[in-house]
Structure formats: structure tokens, C-alpha cells
Structure 1
Amino acid sequence: MAQKPSIPKGTRDFGAVEMARRNYIFNTIREVYALYGFRQIETPAMENLSTLMGKYGEEGDKLLFKILNSGNFRGEVTAEEYAEKNSAQLAARFCEKGLRYDLTVPFARYVVQHRDELQMPFKRYQIQPVWRADRPQKGRYREFYQCDADVVGSDSLLNEVELMQIVDEVFSRFGIRVCIKINNRKILSGIAEIIGAADKIVDITVAIDKLDKIGLDKVNEELRAVGLSEEAVEKLQPIISLSGTNEQKLDTMRQVLAASETGLKGVDEVAFVLNALKASELRNELELDLTLARGLNYYTGCIFEVKALDVQIGSITGGGRYDNLTGIFGLPGLSGVGISFGADRIYDVLTQLDLYPAETNSGARILFINFGANEAAHCLRLAAAIRKAGISAEVYPDSVKMKKQMSYANAHKVPFVALVGESEMAEGKVALKNMETGEQQSLSIDEVIEHIK
């Protein structure tokens, strides 16, 4: 009995309609990136594990897909080492490469490796799949696409402002109402400093970042579990639950962080970005959220996250500044800031809200009905003329019953059907049928092109 075919959990096939929708997402994001002067690059699906490990924190490292070495990868491992059953140690011996976890670390590697070829600041965008050995669930996949834009070689906060404008423009084009959340890792460092837990900044940010997912009580449990005193946990409570306008929050944090130079610098950076964006009149809500932590170790300045307002789903865009990342690869002092659109989650939001343009779901704009060999040959010439005008066209390949050909047009949401029989061929006309209204008219090929356009 033949084995039933399947695909790995957390991955998906995409049919023609789904790919048309995905391409709508990719093309929209690509167009906006290009409007702001970003240039496209690509990096390999797999990287050396030495490039990936240690860049995402301990939790992130666990989610890396590792690739077994080719050949006799077991040859140098002793029986004693096998007996210890230390999976992490064995993986390090068996695997030198891994699938990329995100696009930012490979980009940092790219910048260092190609630094002599790049003009700084360098603005790049990248639209490629990434992989995470995560538990599949709604809105979370093991293979998914990211659509990143990054600027390296500039310390200016105008880059943060521009990236927020890009976020606003992309979601406005999609018709998705969002809240753009902003915070700063320096503020979080300042908070850790004033509660006497500066050495726990990573643990604190990882815990706070889970607030939306697990709630305040569980976050507090995690904070205690990593060694925070009860007094320190109590000091965090009013900060975590701070409310009011962005200006009120900034004023409060200036008072709370008065003794922290690092914290005050973070407040100033956020204030600059918020004030600059006021003049650009964003169409979406912009909120200072002090619980936003972005649980990745490499962020050092402003951090961003985008939430859809009309759908219950996780973050659909995120990013921030990561001054220290390229230093890990031997190029210290190069600042970077970037954002990443989660294309798969955006797909789910657009689907739930039914926001795809009608033309996204259609293939050809016009289908020529096949009445026989002579008519089909004539229609091939007409279709060629229509394609030269930039309109997608199909000629049905088989001379079968009209009902079957019309059903094909309906199934593929083709808006126009062309009927060209002997009389139309003799008159140099096309009987053009609008599949939505049912209206049919006799037109020349030039008139058909003008009508469809």
C-alpha cells in the first residue's frame, strides 16, 4: 500500500490563489521599500552555526534547525560521548550548518563579509523564508517569510522615523488598522538599574516581553524565578502598567529614571522619534509601550512592534536598533536599525478581514473560447495582441463543450470571455462577454483592449 503523502508540521503548500495573495503582499512591501531607497539582496537559506549561535539568546538558540554534516559525521564521536546522551554537545559535533532563524543576523554577516564593497549608510531589503524549530500553532509556523529592511552605518534617529513611516504606509495600503508600539532598550536598562538589578536586564526583558501572552502574574513569577527580589518586582509593577498619553508616559519616565543616565538617553531617543513622526501625520496609532521588550539580545536602542487592531493575532511587524551586532563578526562600531514584516501573519489578517483586492484572485483578464482548430489559431493571434498591450490572456486549449469552458472561466474568476466563431472571424470582431454583468458586445480587438484597460 502506497504511503500517504504529507508535509512537515508547521509548513504549508500554497496553491495558485494563495500565491497570488502572497505576491500581492510581497509586491506591496517591495514597492514601499523601493520608494524609500532600499535595495534588495539575498543570502543563503543555511548559514554556518557559528554565525547563528549566541545571537538570539538561549531560547532562540534552541529554536535553530541544525543540518547534519555530510559523510561520516559520527566517525569522531566516541562510544562514551554517545552514552552521555548530551544532545547539545552531540549536535555541535554533528552539525556545522543551520537554517537561518531570521534575516538580520545573516545580513550582519553579509555586511562584514562585503564591507569593502558597500557604500555607507547601506539600506537593504530582503524577502526570504526563515525557519524556527518552534511548536506550530495558529499564526506561528516553522517555515515562514520575513520581509526586512535595514539601515547600517548611520547613528541617526531619522532612520527610525523613516522605518515607522514605511510601516504606516504598508499597512495603510493593505487597509489594515494597526497600533505601532515603540519602546527603547536603554529605558529597560535604566529600569533594571534603578531597581538594583542591572545584571538581570536580559532576564527582565525576556519576561516582560511575554506580558501579552501569559499575563502579569506569570511574568512576576518568571521575574522571581530569575532571582529578582520581591522589592525589585514590586518596583516594576507601576512601570509595567503605566498608562496615559505618550507625552505623559515620557514625563513620568523622566522622573522615574532621573538617576539613570542610560535610561534618560532612551527616553530622549523615543521622544525624538515620536515628535518627528507628529509632523508626518501617520494614519495609524503610535503608542509608547514600556512592556515592549523584544526578547532578542542584540537590540540596543529603539524597538518596535505592530499589532493588528481588528484581529486577534501576535505581532505582525517588529524590529529595532542593534548597534553591537556586527561587532560579533569583527566589525565594531557599526550601527544598524531595521524592521521585519511577518508576511504569513499579514496573510492571515488580510484573509480574516477579506481585504484582498478583487483582481488578486484572478489569473487571466480574458479567456478565448475554443470552437475548433481554425478558430483557436485565430484566437492565438488575437491573444498575442492583447498580451502586447499588457493584458493577461488565455486561449482554452481544448475544443470541448461551451459549458465546461465557461465553468473554467468562472472557477478562475476571469472577468471577460471572448467568443470568436466563423462570423466574428469574417467581420474582424470579438464577441466580448462580461462575466460579472452578463453583458455581451461585438468589438474590434483594439476596442477589446481599450475596454478591458
Structure 2
Amino acid sequence: MKPSIPKGTRDFSPTEVANRTYIMNTIKTAFETFGFQPIETPSFENSSTLMGKYGEEGDRLIFKILNSGDFLVKADEKLLSNKESTKVISQISEKALRYDLTVPFARYVVQHQNEITFPFKRYQIQPVWRADRPQKGRFREFYQCDADVVGSKSLWQEVEFIQLYDTVFSQLGLQGTTIKINNRKILSGIAEVIGAQDKLIDFTVALDKLDKIGREGVIKEMLSKGITEDAIKKVAPLFSFKGSNLEKLDALQQMLAASEEGKSGVEELRFVINAIDQLGLTSASLEVDVTLARGLNYYTGAIFEVAAPKGVKMGSIGGGGRYDDLTGIFGMPDVSGVGISFGLDRIYLVLEELELFKSVNLPKPKVLFLNFDKTTDIAKMKAITVLRNRGVKSEMYPDLAGSNNQQKKQWKYATNREIQYVVSKVENDTYLLKNMENFEQLTCSLNEIIEKVK
């Protein structure tokens, strides 16, 4: 039977790894240019760290890890017989694969608070896992590239994150992305003025799906969650909100006149929009989107989501927002934070579709020693050791060529890997060196090889 890999995971070829590394290095360079420091956290966390932080939908997508050994020993037999899996999970699984990098980061901040200088600007590039239904651009294992600032309530952080998105997409040559922005205070204000405060999460989760299931689908979901028809009529203008960013904010200002929280959200957005208008963006555009909610429960202020250029069928390629008290769930209240994430895998697919990848050089030796004569193997390996110590990538073809066909195979290996220099003969400290690009061939010393290839 042919082996396979789990759905929603992938193998990566050398070229794909090189392309992914190019994207990650571009993002990493931008992170460090903006003053962020790297950290890493474990692939799995205690279940108590993750569960309950992403809403009901998110909790269902967390991969649980069964306890080691006989994991059913502590399980309640009645729960097992009744097949109450959600209740028995806590008895048979104490750990889970991380769902994102933000909650583990909050845990990190609380655990290391005495070692951190605030405001703390961190970036993190690591894989995460979600038990989602695999489809184009959606995987069960994928990398996130996150940047967060904790310990600052300044709205200049939101401005800088928009600039950071713009910087990365400009350097990747990705023109025409749209950075959508909203504010959870505005959504709370809307829920307040339509009399649906107690249904805020249901309201925002449904509203966030407008671009996926359409106006009728959103209305149907809101009704199913107990939001009244009268409340939905009041919110109907949001389904087709038009105009410039400032015109949208003016309309929201009027709509939310009776909500202090809503008006606060409008003013926060106005500050960010005005700052970006004055600073300018290179490759991206900024758009106020009042339907943007990003179903995660911990956002309290600005919300970001990045859409791929028009014409590319792809979900969001980045997102984030402000969370005023995420660390409070771990016993450290009143620490404001804001962060964004780049969707590496989706960005890869977009660059591939738009043919924006630069030509990448795969790792390969600069000099290849062919293996036609085993009596010179030691001499070749000594030469290779010297070359490597001088920073020249070198290797010897491992298998001895006993026939003309085997010799041709070694030459073909050099051609297929696009190795520039080939040593085919070693004799009395001299080397027969061939340049595979111009086919020039000469006999030279090892020092002359070093000078030539460098």
C-alpha cells in the first residue's frame, strides 16, 4: 500500500522550501526593522491554556492530545457509555496542539513578566494546527508569522502595524492588497443601539460571514441565534455600507450617537485613518469594513484583515487586532496588546498564482568532485575539507563509477543540480577543473581553485 500523509498537511520540495524561506525572511527582516524581537513557544500547551479562548467554534477546531499510557483509566464510565465526548475530553486529554500564536504569547508574557521590558514587541514564526475542513488555502497544519506589542495603549501601534503589512507586501512585490479595518467597540455599539447587547458574540460571528454566505445567510443565522427581526432591520444599512473611509465614519458617528462605546470606537478608527492618510501606503489600500468581526472573542479594539488582490480567489492572507485584557485570563490584568499575523501558506499561493516568486537558488555545492578513481578518494576528501573551511560548498560524488555509463551518470548529476565547477581528475596535487557554464577546462592547484570559485 502506497504511504500517504494526513489530509490538510503537505510535503514541501526543495524549491518550495526555498520559496517559503524567501517569504519568511522577508517578513522577519520587516519585523526586526520595526523593532520586534523573536520568541518561540512549545508546539503544544496545557489544554486549560487554550480552551475557552477562541469561542465555541474555535474550541472545536483545537487538536487534543490523548494522555500517555492507558488514557481511559481516569475516564468516567457513565460518560463513556453515554458517548458524552465533550465532557470526557478533560479526563483523557490534558494537552493540545496550539491553535494560534497569540494565546501562547499571552501565557508567555504572564509567565515571564519579571524578565520582560514593556512595551514588549515580539515576533514569532512557527506552525499551528486546526482541525478544520481542508480546502484551497486552508490547511490543518500551517505556519503563522505574528507580531504583537503588549504594554501600550497607544493607537500609533495600530498605525505601525498597517505600515508593517504594507512594507512586507511591497517587498514581496504584491500590489493591490486591501487592509480591512474595524473596531469591536463599534460592533458593541451597534449591538447596543439595536437592543442586542446580550447577543453580541452571535451578532458579530454572523456579521463576519457576510462575504461568505451573503446577506440572506447572515439574516438567517442571526434569526436562528435569537436576534429579532426588528434588530436586524436596524442593522440592515451595514450590509451595503458605501463611501470613503471618512464618509463611513461620519455615518457611523450618527448611527452610534446613543452609544458611548460605539462613539469611542469611531474616534479610534478616525485617528488611525487620518494618520495613514498623511503617512501614505506603497502597495496596499486601507478600507473601513464594518462587517469585519473576526469571530475571536478576545479582540476589544481595532480589528485587521488583509484581502488578496482582486482576481485572486483566496481567503484572508493576514489579520489581527487589539486585545485589552488577554493576559487577564492568566492572572495579569490590564495589560493592553495589539498584534497581527501573516498567513504564510496563503501568501505563498497568491505569489505563485501571480508568478511573483523571484528565482531562488537551491542549496548546492559550488564544486563537485567526480568519483572515477578510488585511489584518490582521500586526496579528494582532504581537498574538500580545505574548500569547506574556506567557505566553499563542496562535495564528492559518493559512488565509484565502474563504467562509462556510470561516469555519464555523475556528469548528469552535476548538470541537473546546476553545479558550476566539476573536478574530474586528481593527480599529484593538481586538479582537472571544468567550468560547467562556459565549458572551460584547466589543470590547477587547490589554491587556484579557491581563487577561481570565490
Q: 2:416 aligns with which of 380, 389, 411?
A: 411
Give the C-alpha shift of residue 417 in structure 1: 3.4
In structure 2, do the counterparts of structure 1 residues 81 and 240 end up closer, same or farther at CA, with 3 Å as the change threshold?
same
SS of residue matched to 2:320: strand
SS of residue matched to 1:254: helix
Correspondence for 1:432:
435
Correspondence for 1:294:
294
Alignment of 1:246-285 (within 5 A): 246-283=245-282, 284-285=284-285
Is the Cα contact below 8 Å between 1:432 and 1:448 reproduced in 2? no
In structure 2, do the counterparts of structure 1 residues 232 and 407 end up closer, same or farther at CA, with 3 Å as the change threshold?
farther
Instruction: Give per-residue Cα distances to partners, 1:293-321, cap 9 Å, x unaligned.
Output: 11100001111111111521111111111
Give the whole-Å Cα distance in 2 for the aligned partners of 1:366 and 1:251: 66
Alignment of 1:107-122 (within 5 A): 107-122=105-120
Q: Amino acid of the residue matched to residue 327 of structure 1?
A: G
Bigger CA drift: 7-16 or 184-193? Answer: 7-16
Give the whole-Å Cα distance in 2 for the aligned partners of 1:208 and 1:225: 13
Give the whole-Å Cα distance in 2 for the aligned partners of 1:304 and 1:176: 18
| Pair 1:396 & 2:397 matched | yes
In structure 2, do the counterparts of structure 1 residues 359 and 72 end up closer, same or farther at CA, with 3 Å as the change threshold?
closer
Q: Amino acid of the residue matched to residue 302 of structure 2?
A: C
SS of residue matched to 2:94: strand
In structure 2, do the counterparts of structure 1 residues 152 and 420 end up closer, same or farther at CA, with 3 Å as the change threshold?
same
Give the C-alpha shift of residue 102 in structure 1: 0.6
Is the Cα contact below 8 Å between 2:54 and 2:296 reproduced in 1? yes
Instruction: Give per-residue Cα distances to partners, 1:308-350, cap 9 Å, x unaligned.
Output: 1152111111111111211111111000111111112122222
Q: Amino acid of the residue matched to residue 433 of structure 1?
A: M
Q: Give the number of aligned pairs.
A: 446
In structure 2, do the counterparts of structure 1 residues 164 and 405 end up closer, same or farther at CA, with 3 Å as the change threshold?
farther
Correspondence for 2:194:
195
Give the C-alpha shift of residue 86 in structure 1: 0.9
Instruction: Give per-residue Cα distances to partners, 1:143-195, cap 9 Å, x unaligned.
Output: 11111111101111111122222211112222223211111111111111122
Correspondence for 1:351:
352
Correspondence for 2:92:
94
Alignment of 1:193-232 (within 5 A): 193-232=192-231
Q: Amino acid of the residue matched to residue 420 of structure 2?
A: F
Alignment of 1:169-180 (within 5 A): 169-177=167-175, 178-180=177-179
SS of residue matched to 2:360: helix
Q: 2:80 aligns with which of 82, 95, 98?
A: 82
Instruction: Give per-residue Cα distances to partners, 1:106-146, cap 9 Å, x unaligned.
Output: 11011111111111111111111111111111211111111
Q: Amino acid of the residue matched to residue 217 of structure 1?
A: E
Instruction: Give per-residue Cα distances to partners, 1:369-395, cap 9 Å, x unaligned.
Output: 455457766665665566566554444
Instruction: Give per-residue Cα distances to partners, 1:5-37, cap 9 Å, x unaligned.
Output: 222221222232222222222222222111122
Unaligned runs of 5+ in 1: none
SS of residue matched to 2:297: coil
Is the Cα contact below 8 Å between 1:10 and 1:143 reproduced in 2? yes
Q: 2:62 aligns with which of 61, 64, 69?
A: 64
Normalised by the length of structure 2, the TM-score is 0.89
Give the whole-Å Cα distance in 2 for the aligned partners of 1:150 and 1:206: 24
Instruction: Give per-residue Cα distances to partners, 1:379-415, cap 9 Å, x unaligned.
Output: 6566556656655444433454454234324433x26
Q: Amino acid of the residue matched to residue 331 of structure 1?
A: M
Is the Cα contact below 8 Å between 1:375 and 1:420 reproduced in 2? no
Bigger CA drift: 230-239 or 152-161? Answer: 230-239
| Pair 1:318 & 2:319 matched | yes
Instruction: Give per-residue Cα distances to partners, 1:207-258, cap 9 Å, x unaligned.
Output: 1111222222111111111112222212222223212221222222222222
Is the Cα contact below 8 Å between 1:368 and 1:420 reproduced in 2? yes
Give the whole-Å Cα distance in 1 for the aligned partners of 2:268 and 2:442: 65
Give the whole-Å Cα distance in 1 for the aligned partners of 2:453 and 2:264: 57
Measured on the aligned residues, the alpha-carbon RMSD in Å equals: 2.7
Is the Cα contact below 8 Å between 1:160 and 1:337 reproduced in 2? yes
Is the Cα contact below 8 Å between 1:369 and 1:396 reproduced in 2? yes
SS of residue matched to 2:132: coil
In structure 2, do the counterparts of structure 1 residues 174 and 446 end up closer, same or farther at CA, with 3 Å as the change threshold?
farther
| Pair 1:127 & 2:132 matched | no
Instruction: Give per-residue Cα distances to partners, 1:55-114, cap 9 Å, x unaligned.
Output: 000111111111122334323444333222211011122111111111111110111111
| Pair 1:185 & 2:184 matched | yes
Is the Cα contact below 8 Å between 1:67 and 1:98 reproduced in 2? yes
In structure 2, do the counterparts of structure 1 residues 360 and 343 end up closer, same or farther at CA, with 3 Å as the change threshold?
farther
Q: Amino acid of the residue matched to residue 358 of structure 1?
A: S
Is the Cα contact below 8 Å between 1:130 and 1:143 reproduced in 2? yes
Q: Amino acid of the residue matched to residue 289 of structure 2?
A: D
SS of residue matched to 2:247: helix
Correspondence for 1:303:
303
SS of residue matched to 2:409: helix
Normalised by the length of structure 1, the TM-score is 0.89
Give the whole-Å Cα distance in 1 for the aligned partners of 2:174 and 2:157: 23
In structure 2, do the counterparts of structure 1 residues 78 and 277 end up closer, same or farther at CA, with 3 Å as the change threshold?
closer
Is the Cα contact below 8 Å between 2:76 and 2:88 reproduced in 1? no
In structure 2, do the counterparts of structure 1 residues 232 and 448 end up closer, same or farther at CA, with 3 Å as the change threshold?
farther
SS of residue matched to 1:54: coil
